[in-house]
Structure 1
Amino acid sequence: MDTINSILTPLYIAVSWIIVQFHKLYSLVFDEDSGWAWGLSIVSLVIVVRIGLIPLFFKQIKATRNMQALQPRMKAIQERYKSDRQRQSEEMMKLYKETGTNPLSSCLPILLQAPFFIALFQVLNHIASNRTVGVLSQAEVESARAASIFGAPIATRFMDSAEKVAELSASLTDVRVVTVIMIVLMSLSQFYTQRQLMTKNVDLTVKTPFMNQQKMLMYIFPIMFAVFGINFPVGVLIYWLTTNVWTLGQQMYVIQRNPTPGSIAFQQRQEKLREKGKLKEDPAEVETKKAVEAARANRVQPKKQPKSKRQAQGAQPKKAGPHQNGSAQGQQGRQKKQRPDATAPQDKPKPSEKTKK
């Protein structure tokens, strides 16, 4: 544990320094010992971290789309080499290299945000234990420890005992009500973010396992927040709720401005651009449309003949072709063979028994 703390010490310093600077700023408006001054400092920390991760967020979007497009080829490789795991891995790596796709790129924002989350968690634990951490002085630790939002100190958690909460001059009921509300808001924001991605920004023209994975995560993440949230301090819940809301807003912006091709959002955006006359069509599609229109214009429609003329044409006997003549003559010959000739001598009737006698 001491080794981990020593490794994360630079992060403790960075996180605590950012919080202290924003706390000084918000203390000009709010009481420096209030939960709003410290709570908004945590919110500002999230904003700073997420702004720094914006370039990685766009890489995540690109990587996610590439992975979605590669799903059919990946599935084919898995089916082809299902009995040879090593060859399957080699072919997968070859496919990633050919297409310039990195499977980990879609997870980078979450992975890089995790150290800040852990650092904030430890900073709040130090505050709850009334210990200095990073650049926080003892006076600032005591101020943050007593600061509360809606009656819940930012260093308390749902699972704390009544005695521990009472030390901070707070009520266990207030702490649990606030934490439950924040956990519910965290879960709902995460669920809506994932649902928005599934219903609006997924290519519906290609059915891939990626869609099933995203659908599964839509239900798993909210449950994870509900399970782990009861062990998070109120300050960490503020951090996670803020980052969820940021993700939701960021995703809405991307869906409106740069939706995934083939998705519902993409079709809606194309319609809006077409209505405004801003849609630039593909030159190949334009040439195809021109060719179709030209073919329609050059096509000669048959003129409708008067009824008398159609009846006159129907009354005329059709000329039989050579094949028809041959077949008719053959049919007549067959009929002649079957029909007895009138000039041929007929067989005489056999004499009856009386004549013989």
Structure 2
Amino acid sequence: MEWAYDGVSWVLLRWHDLWSNVFGGDDNGFLQTDWAWVLAIVGVVITLRVILFPLFVKQIQSQRAMQKLAPEIKALQERYKGDRETLQKEMMELYRKEKANPLMGCLPILIQMPVFLALFHVLRRPDPDQTLNTDLYGWSGLAAGAGSDWNTYVHAKLFGAPFWSTFLTPASQLEAVGSSSVTVKLVAGVLGAAMILTTFLTTRQMILKTGWNEDPNQRMIQKVMLYGIPVIMIFSAGAFPIGVVIYWTINNLFSLGQQQYVLHKYPPPAQNNANAKPPKPGSKAHEKMLEEQREAEQRRKDLAPKPGKRPKQTPSATPKPDPEPGVNGSAVNGANGSGQTKGGPGAGKNLSRAERIARAKKVSGAQQASKKKKG
């Protein structure tokens, strides 16, 4: 993780240098807040969002493609029920043809996690009791004077609460930088509530726009993400430094705005969103909906068996029609013209009812004629 610590620190410090020049090094000025460090953390969010925006768009496009393919995937599952290997091959071919990637939805989260963990590590390191390794990750350390990165961050505050402090920080540490436990708990509590609320709203916005999944297992995962993660954060937010809570809250606010834009530009398929209002006839949205319906119908036709197509039969399983009985009564004796036996169980089962009746009459007539000759 050293590469992540170095990268996040470099971005954070470059933004801090920029805003320090703007504010003229006025630490903890207006509202007892060091705005240079606040805006530096906001700068990290902006940098990450700009880098991830193309991936986020691809994530939404991939989700839309997966939603369009939901009926076709269900048809494949029914068609190849019990043949898992063939089902997987057909699904992979469908994904490739329609340019859908089920793993694309996880990629932005996988990239954000190292950044969050690195920022968590970097922002919780500085505190008044720490005197070793203060110059790691490109920071100017404790020995560089009062204007060093380390010292300015240790004394930086948000509404009087140090950036490195948490809801559980003891009062003895806070007194060393002129803060109090009550102030920190108040600021950390309000920020923590904002972090939990924005996390809930971000997840809710995505689920409502894309719709609840029809699969019970996937729907359960959605509910866990919507309600379970905020509940977990209630108990874990107290251990987060205020600087990290600022990052998380600002990141959620950016996510809300970004998702609103992307979801408006790439709306979910109408057939997968029962709560969506139908677009007005003649509008671009209506034409797009009709096009999606035509594409889905064509894919269903491609997957469905051809009309009138029957399963292939082996030659041994295909019964041959019996020859019509001749006037010489060869059918009665069970012999054809070549002298081969033709009869046995199932003989004539492919004949129609009328043909079977006619055949029985002929057989009966031949038997009576035979009796007369014997008599």
Q: Which letter does structure 2 place at the counterpart of 1:208?
A: D
State which of 174, 185, 194 in structure 1 corresponds to 2:203: 194
Deviations 1:64-91 (A, max 9, x none): 334445556369859945xxxxx75884
Counterparts of 1:14 and 1:255 in 2: how far apart (Å)?
31
Deviations 1:256-291 (A, max 9, x none): 2221012659944833xx5868854748999xxxxx
The reply to whether residue 95 of structure 1 matches residue 91 of structure 2 is: yes
1:178 corresponds in structure 2 to 187
The answer on 1:207 being equivalent to 2:214 is yes
TM-score by length of 2: 0.63
Q: Report if the CA contact (8 A) 1:126-1:133 is conserved.
A: no
Distance 1:222 1:157 in 2: 18
Contact 1:23 1:38 in 2 (8 A): yes
In 1, distance between residues paired with 2:174 and 2:239? 14
What are structure 1's unaligned runs of at least 5 residues? 1-7, 82-86, 287-357
- The answer (yes or no) to whether the contact 2:161–2:179 under 8 Å persists in 1 is yes
Amino acid at match of 2:215: T
- C-alpha separation in 2, matches of 1:284 and 1:256: 17
The 1:10/1:151 distance shift into structure 2, 3 A limit, reads same
Q: Indicate if the aligned counterparts of 2:269 and 2:292 stay in contact, CA closer than 8 A.
A: no
SS in 2 for 1:169: coil
**Structure 2 equivalent of residue 260 of structure 1:** 268
1:136-151 counterparts in 2 under 5 A? 136-138=139-141, 139-151=148-160
Unpaired segments of 5 or more residues in structure 2?
29-33, 142-147, 295-375
Same amino acid, percent of matched pairs? 32
Contact map agreement 2:64 2:269 (CA 8 A) in 1: no
What amino acid does structure 2 have at the position aligned with 1:120? Answer: L
Maintained 8 Å contact 1:77/1:92:
no
Distance in 1 separating the partners of 2:50 and 2:178: 36
The code of the aligned residue for 2:13 comes to: V
Alignment of structure 1 residues 49-88 onto 2, 5 Å: 49-69=48-68, 73=73, 77=77, 80-81=81-82, 88=84
Q: 1:152 to 1:283 in 2, by over 3 A?
A: closer
1:116 partnered with 2:115: yes
SS in 1 for 2:239: coil
Distance 1:17 1:92 in 2: 45
More helix by share: 1
Counterpart of 1:26 (choices 12, 19, 26) is 19
Partner of 1:127, secondary structure, is coil
AA at the equivalent of 1:225: M
- Whole-angstrom CA distance in 1 between matches of 2:63 and 2:10: 34
TM-align CA RMSD: 3.3
Shift of 1:211: 3.8
Are 1:10 and 2:3 counterparts?
yes
Question: What is the number of residues matched between the two proteins?
Answer: 270
The 1:211/1:178 distance shift into structure 2, 3 A limit, reads same
Q: Provide, for residues 288-323 of structure 1, a one-character-per-residue CA deviation record: whole Å limited to 9, x for no partner.
A: xxxxxxxxxxxxxxxxxxxxxxxxxxxxxxxxxxxx
Structure 1 pair 258–285 and aligned structure 2 pair: CA distance change class (3 A): closer
In structure 1, how many angstroms separate the alpha carbons of the residues matched to 2:87 and 2:108? 27
CA separation of 1:284 and 1:25: change in aligned 2, threshold 3 A: closer
Aligned-pair CA distance for 1:53: 0.4
Q: How big is the shift at 1:146?
A: 0.7
Q: Which amino acid aligns with 1:222?
A: P
Determine which of 125, 134, 138 is the counterpart of 2:137.
Answer: 134
Query: Do structure 1's residue 156 and structure 2's residue 169 form an aligned pair?
Result: no
Q: Deviations over 1:232-256 (max 9, x none)?
A: 1111111111111111111111222
| Greater gyration radius | 1
Match of 1:107 in 2: 106
Q: Deviations over 1:110-141 (max 9, x none)?
A: 11011111111111132233522211102210
The one-letter code sitting in structure 1 at the alignment partner of 2:60 is: I
Contact 2:161 2:187 in 1 (8 A): yes
SS of equivalent residue, structure 2 residue 214: coil
**Distance change (3 Å), C-alpha of 1:284 and 1:159:** closer
One-letter amino acid of the structure 1 residue matched with residue 2 of structure 2: T
Answer yes or no: is the 8 Å Cα contact 1:127–1:155 preserved in 2.
yes
Partner of 1:166: 175
TM-score, length of structure 1 as denominator length: 0.66
Q: Is the CA contact (8 Å cut-off) linking 1:201 and 1:266 kept in structure 2?
A: no
> 1:200-249: per-residue Cα shift (whole Å, max 9, x none)?
332x7x73333443233111121232232211111111111111111111
Give the match's secondary structure for 2:23. coil
Please state how far the C-alpha of 1:168 moved relative to its aligned partner.
2.5
Counterpart of 1:168 in 2: which secondary structure? Answer: coil
Deviations 1:14-62 (A, max 9, x none): 2122122211221233353332110110111011011100111112213
